[in-house]
Structure 1
Amino acid sequence: MVSSALPSTKRAGLILGLGLGGFVDGIVFHQIFHWHNMGSAIVPPVTMDAMLRNMQWDGWFHAAAWLLTVTGVYWQVTDARRGSPVPSTRVFTGLLLIGWGAFNLIEGLIDHQILGLHHVRDLPRYIPLYDWIFLGLGGVGLIALGWMMAAQAVRVRRPLAFAERRYY
């Protein structure tokens, strides 16, 4: 049986994308590149005390990303157990990209532009171009790519009924 994806299934993919987008940001920019921390424009991490404060703010940021990810997984599993239509891999990937791009756009506008908590590249010096590239490619670009992927593949397959499934 083929039908369109339900809004709840779409919601799960979008929320998962938001959470995973937060993890990518935190892991890549905070932990691997050391380009910024959550409050590095306010409290530059140049002393041990400032680094500890920034690490604590990063911890709260990662906790929020974790909650979004767990919520998305919970909704996805709940939808599957209810027998909701399962989106194709292409649609689901598109939804993840839309969520990831939405995270980048929201976080970039609020934290980088409005509040000035940090920028994509704070140290050794702030370079505004990084913020604009992040918003354009990482925000709008991912949303557009995800939208194109999800819109091109509107057919989904019906999952097996609960009684038809095998659990191992």
Structure 2
Amino acid sequence: MQNHNKALLLLPLFLTVGPPLQACITCNKKVQEAIFDSQFYPNLLAMLSPFILLAAIVGGLAWLFGKRYHQPSGVQGPATVYNLMPLATAALVLGIGLGGFIDGIMLHQILQWHEMLSNKIPPTDLVAKTVNMFWDGIFHAFCLLVVLVGVVMLWKTGRRADADRSGNLLWGGLLAGWGLFNILEGLMDHHILKLHNVREITGNVAAWNFGFLGFSVVLLGVGWRLISRKHQSKVEGAV
């Protein structure tokens, strides 16, 4: 399992260094020049910024609330105490990755409301469309990486005798992760970096962008409520 973890850690390095060397080898010269121009690494960093922030937030939350959720107040004696954090954290990470896939599959591919760089590079011709498709692929690659990390965390949770396996924790973490991803991705990509909008061709771009954030806050709130309800019931049952 340790080798698998090392492989996961090497994947971001490959995705950062590998594309200029390996990607799009069958593309025509115009497409290659459009993808691997002077903005390649700035675009890569901009696209990865939500993932970097999310990794810091999830790590911080796991550390901050680990002790708090490890044992409810009032528990005394040798009674078995189930830890809420392993499943909640694994589900949160899975929710982040799956939320990215939902965004990419529904909004980028099926509805085609936007693409990764569609505000910077409007996909109005074949070259621009191909460039956006490339960056959509890089985005999905990192979503896959996050999902794989979440699966490993979930697998490790299943091997822990002290891990709580409540459905509230699983669904709460998934919804909270989805909402958290949308909020960070929306703030960074739609409002700060302006890589794309939720819906590019519309009479009111801002309304769609803020509506997306509102929906995401609801997801986060519902997920957090499910996790908190489980924690509260655990405390009440232990007293």
In the alignment, which of 124, 132, 153 is matched to residue 54 of structure 1? Answer: 132
How far, CA to CA, are the matches of 1:82 and 1:95 in structure 2?
Answer: 18
Corresponding position: 1:144 with 2:221:
yes
Aligned residues: 155
Confirm or deny: 8 A CA contact 2:86 2:163 kept in the other structure.
no
Match in the other structure for 1:106: 184
Higher mean displacement: 54-63 or 120-129? 120-129
SS in 2 for 1:153: helix
Bigger proportion of residues as helix: 2
Per-residue CA deviations over 1:125-155 (Å, capped at 9, x if unaligned) read 6621000000011x21111011111111236
Match in the other structure for 1:41: 119
How far, CA to CA, are the matches of 2:188 and 2:124 in structure 1?
Answer: 24
Matches within 5 A, 1:1-168: 3-123=81-201, 127-137=205-215, 139-154=216-231
Confirm or deny: 8 A CA contact 1:21 1:103 kept in the other structure.
yes
Gaps of at least 5 residues in structure 2 are: 1-78, 235-239
How far, CA to CA, are the matches of 2:142 and 2:133 in structure 1?
Answer: 14
Residues 125, 41 of structure 1: CA spacing in aligned structure 2 closer, same or farther, 3 A cutoff?
A: farther
Q: Give me the TM-score of the superposition, normalised by structure 2.
A: 0.61
How far, CA to CA, are the matches of 1:150 and 1:10 in structure 2?
Answer: 7
Aligned alpha-carbon RMSD (Å): 1.8
Cα offset for 1:4? 4.1
How far, CA to CA, are the matches of 2:122 and 2:143 in structure 1?
Answer: 23
How far, CA to CA, are the matches of 2:83 and 2:91 in structure 1?
Answer: 11
How far, CA to CA, are the matches of 1:90 and 1:2 in structure 2?
Answer: 20
Gaps of at least 5 residues in structure 1 are: 157-168
Per-residue CA deviations over 1:21-73 (Å, capped at 9, x if unaligned) read 00000011001100000000000011000010000000010001100001001
Per-residue CA deviations over 1:80-108 (Å, capped at 9, x if unaligned) read 12334133112210111110000000000
Residues 56, 73 of structure 1: CA spacing in aligned structure 2 closer, same or farther, 3 A cutoff?
A: same
The letter of the residue matching 1:134 is: F
The letter of the residue matching 2:126 is: M
How far, CA to CA, are the matches of 1:120 and 1:49 in structure 2?
Answer: 22
Task: Considering Cα pairs closer than 8 Å and 6+ residues apart, tell me whether 1 or 2 has the greater RCO.
Answer: 1
The letter of the residue matching 2:225 is: M
The letter of the residue matching 1:33 is: L
Confirm or deny: 8 A CA contact 1:40 1:118 kept in the other structure.
yes
